[in-house]
C-alpha cells in the first residue's frame, strides 16, 4: 500500500472550475507582461547586459552597508553589492558595462575607494570577470532558444507517447527547429525569432490536433510567463542561473503533466464516460502523488531560500515560483485543454482499439494455421 495523503476516492470537480482557473492565470500573466512593458523589459544581469563582476574578500567582517558607502562616490555605474557568504567577509560587486574601461581600471578604482573609506581593512580580489554587450546579447538569444527547444522536444515526446504521432511530431519538430536557422539567415532580430516560431508551433499543433502536446506546451508557456512576470514585479535580475531555473521548471512541470496524462490515457481505454469526467477522475487519482511530490520538492527549495545564502537566493526563488505554478498548471491548464479535442481523441482511441482487435485476430489466425 502506498502513502495516500489525499483519499483516492476524492471527487473534486477540477474541470468545472476551469474557467475560474483560466481567469486567474490570464490575470497573473497580464500583470506580469504589464510590468515588463512599463519597465522596458526584464532587468538583465551582467550575463545578459554585459559588465564586470569583481569578487572581494575581506580579512575582517564588513557589513554590506559599509561596502556600499565606501563605493558610493567611486563612479561605478549600475553598482550592485551582493554578499556571497554568511560571515560578511565575501562580496560580489557587479558593475554595468562601460565603454573604454578595463577590468584592471575597475579593480584600481575599487582599491582606491576602499583604501580611502575603509582604512585598515585588508582585502583581496580573487576573481574578476568581464562580459561584453555583444556576448550578453548572444547569451540572451541562446537562452530563449534553449527554452523553446526544450519545450518543443518534450511536446514531440508527448505526441508520440500519448497519440502515436511520432512521425508527424518529429517532422514538425525538424521543420520548426530549422525555421529558426532560416529566420536568422534572413536577418530577423533574434529576440523575436523564438516568440514567432513558438506562435507558429502552437498553430501547427492545433492544425494537426495534437491535443496532449498542446496541453503540455500551453502549460509550459504559462509557467514561464508567470515566473518571469513575478520576477519583473519583484525587480529581480535575469541571468544564466535564472535560465537554468526556468529549464528545471520546464522539466518538472512536464513530468507532472505526463503523470496526469498517463492516467487520463489509461482511463480512456477502460471507460466510455465523457472526457470531462475522465479528466476529473484522473486528476483526483493522481492528486495525492502530485501533492506529495510537489510538497517535498518545495520543502527542499524553501531550505535553499532561507539557508542557501544570497548567491543562490534568486535561483531558489525562481524554482519555488516555477514548481508551485507548474503543479497548478498540470491540473488546471494542461488537462482541460484536451476538452477542445474530445471528438478527435475519441476517434483516435476507437481507431487504436480497432487496430488492436485486428492485430489480435491476425495473431489468432496465424496460430491456428
> What are the CB-based long-range contacts (under 8 Å, 24+) for 162-171?
162/212, 162/261, 162/262, 162/265, 163/210, 163/211, 163/212, 163/213, 163/348, 164/348, 164/352, 165/208, 165/210, 168/208, 168/210, 169/210, 169/213
Residue 3, pLDDT above cutoff 70: no
Q: Which residue has the cell 581600471?
A: 105
Taking only the tens place, the pLDDT of each residue in 105-133 is 888 888 888 888 888 788 888 878 777 66
Q: What is the mean pLDDT of the chain?
A: 82
> Do residues 18 and 332 make contact, with C-beta atoms less than 8 angstroms apart?
yes
Per cent of the chain over pLDDT 90 is 14
Backbone angles phi, psi at 12, to 5 degrees: -80, 135
Q: How far apart are CA 337 and CA 214, in angstroms?
A: 7
> What are the CB-based long-range contacts (under 8 Å, 24+) for 230-235?
230/32, 230/321, 231/42, 231/314, 231/317, 231/318, 231/321, 232/32, 232/35, 232/36, 232/39, 232/42, 232/43, 233/31, 233/32, 233/35, 235/39, 235/43
Q: Helix 133-163 and helix 190-207: axis angle, to 10°?
A: 10
Which residues are CB-contacts of 284 (< 8 A; sequence separation ≥ 6)?
Answer: 8, 9, 10, 11, 12, 14
Q: Which residue has the cell 573604454?
A: 100
Burial of 268: CB neighbours in 10 Å, binned 0-12, 13-18, 19+:
buried
**What confidence category does residue 229 fall into, taking pLDDT thresholds of 50, 70 and 90?**
very high
Most confident of 160-164, 178-182, 259-263: 259-263
**What confidence category does residue 328 fall into, taking pLDDT thresholds of 50, 70 and 90?**
very high
Q: Which of 53-57, 69-73, 88-92 has the lowest mean pLDDT?
A: 88-92
End-to-end alpha-carbon separation of the chain, Å? 45
Residue 82, pLDDT above cutoff 80: no
**Higher pLDDT residue, 213 or 270?**
213
Taking only the tens place, the pLDDT of each residue in 271-300 is 788 888 899 999 998 888 888 888 899 999
Residue 14, pLDDT above cutoff 80: yes
* Beta strands 237-238 and 43-44, pairing class: parallel
In the chain, the domains with their CATH numbers are 19-42+135-355 (1.20.1640.10), 51-131 (3.30.70.3190)
pLDDT recorded at residue 30? 95
pLDDT recorded at residue 1? 44
Average pLDDT over residues 157-174: 80
Q: DSSP labels for 271-329?
A: --S-HHHHHHHHHHHHHHHHHHHHHHHHHHHHHHHHHS-STTHHHHHHHHHHHHHHHHH
Amino acid at each position: 500500500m502506498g502513502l495516500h495523503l489525499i483519499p483516492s476516492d476524492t471527487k473534486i470537480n477540477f474541470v468545472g472550475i476551469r474557467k475560474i482557473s483560466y481567469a486567474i492565470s490570464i490575470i497573473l500573466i497580464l500583470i506580469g507582461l504589464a510590468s515588463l512593458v512599463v519597465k522596458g523589459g526584464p532587468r538583465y544581469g551582467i550575463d545578459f547586459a554585459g559588465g564586470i563582476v569583481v569578487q572581494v574578500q575581506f580579512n575582517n567582517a564588513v557589513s554590506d552597508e559599509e561596502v556600499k558607502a565606501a563605493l558610493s562616490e567611486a563612479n561605478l555605474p549600475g553598482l550592485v553589492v551582493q554578499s556571497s557568504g554568511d560571515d560578511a567577509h565575501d562580496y560580489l560587486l557587479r558593475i554595468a558595462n562601460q565603454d573604454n574601461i578595463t577590468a584592471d581600471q575597475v579593480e584600481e578604482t575599487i582599491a582606491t575607494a576602499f583604501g580611502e573609506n575603509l582604512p585598515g581593512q585588508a582585502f583581496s580580489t580573487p576573481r574578476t570577470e568581464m562580459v561584453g554587450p555583444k556576448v550578453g546579447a548572444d547569451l540572451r538569444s541562446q537562452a530563449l532558444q534553449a527554452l523553446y527547444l526544450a519545450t518543443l522536444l518534450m511536446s514531440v515526446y508527448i505526441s508520440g507517447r500519448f497519440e502515436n504521432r511520432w512521425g508527424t511530431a518529429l517532422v514538425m519538430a525538424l521543420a520548426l527547429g530549422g525555421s529558426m536557422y532560416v529566420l536568422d539567415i534572413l536577418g530577423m532580430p533574434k529576440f523575436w525569432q523564438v516568440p514567432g516560431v513558438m506562435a507558429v508551433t502552437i498553430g501547427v499543433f492545433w492544425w494537426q490536433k495534437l491535443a496532449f502536446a498542446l496541453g503540455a506546451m500551453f502549460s509550459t508557456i504559462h509557467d514561464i510567463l508567470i515566473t518571469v512576470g513575478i520576477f519583473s514585479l519583484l525587480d529581480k535580475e535575469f541571468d544564466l542561473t535564472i535560465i537554468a531555473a526556468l529549464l528545471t521548471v520546464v522539466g518538472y512541470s512536464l513530468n507532472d503533466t505526463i503523470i496526469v496524462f498517463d492516467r487520463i490515457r489509461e482511463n480512456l481505454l477502460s471507460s466510455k464516460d465523457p472526457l470531462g469526467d475522465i479528466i476529473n477522475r484522473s486528476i483526483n487519482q493522481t492528486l495525492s502523488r502530485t501533492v506529495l511530490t510537489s510538497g517535498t520538492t518545495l520543502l527542499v527549495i524553501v531550505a535553499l531560500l532561507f539557508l542557501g545564502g544570497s548567491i543562490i537566493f534568486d535561483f531558489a526563488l525562481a524554482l519555488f515560483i516555477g514548481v508551485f505554478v507548474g503543479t497548478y498548471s498540470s491540473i488546471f491548464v494542461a488537462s482541460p485543454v484536451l476538452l477542445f479535442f474530445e471528438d478527435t481523441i475519441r476517434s483516435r482511441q476507437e481507431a487504436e482499439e480497432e487496430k488492436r482487435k485486428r492485430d489480435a485476430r491476425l495473431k489468432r489466425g496465424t496460430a491456428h494455421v
